[in-house]
Amino acid sequence: MSLPDSLRTVVAVAVYWAAIALGGSVLLADPTSPLVAVPVVGGGAVVAHAARTDGLVPLGYAVGTMWIAVLALSVGTGVVDVFVLPAGAIAPLADYPGIAPIGTVGLLAVLVAAYAAFIRRTAERGGEGPE
């Protein structure tokens, strides 16, 4: 049994928007911060564009790229905590001043740049998905 295209699109939009909102706000120490609007509204705009222009496949790759950036930040923070900071001192990345706005906007910028790159790559290949 296959799903209708409209239902598939709605599910993809919901999943991508949730993944962007969660990944983009990972650096916010306070989940009620006004900065949470950056990934929610910005991600919503990117998802809306992708849904209107049939760019959900490139958006999926862009969301994956954004999550790779989140993973790189996490691993980088862990490496700094283990090898640079004194023994026993753990400094979460979100506690540093200025990291939350820079990181939140930066992760959205990674998403937008990756989405633009995958859209361009798809157009160069004649409309087929990235491989």
Q: Block means of pLDDT (10 residues each) for the chain, length 131 residues?
A: 79 94 86 90 95 93 96 82 67 69 92 96 75 47
What is the count of structural domains for the chain? 1
What would the two tokens of residue 61 be? Answer: 């790759």
Domain range for 51: 5-124
Q: Is residue 77 part of a domain?
A: yes
Q: Is residue 18 part of a domain?
A: yes
**The model's pTM:** 0.83
Q: Residue 95's pLDDT is what?
A: 66
Q: Is residue 129 part of a domain?
A: no
For the four alpha carbons of 66, 71, 74 and 76, in that order, the dihedral sign comes to negative
Helices 56-83 and 37-52 meet at what angle, rounded to 10?
Answer: 150
Q: Is residue 110 part of a domain?
A: yes
CA 83 to CA 123: how far, in whole Å? Answer: 44
Is residue 114 within 8 Å of residue 66, measured between CB atoms?
yes
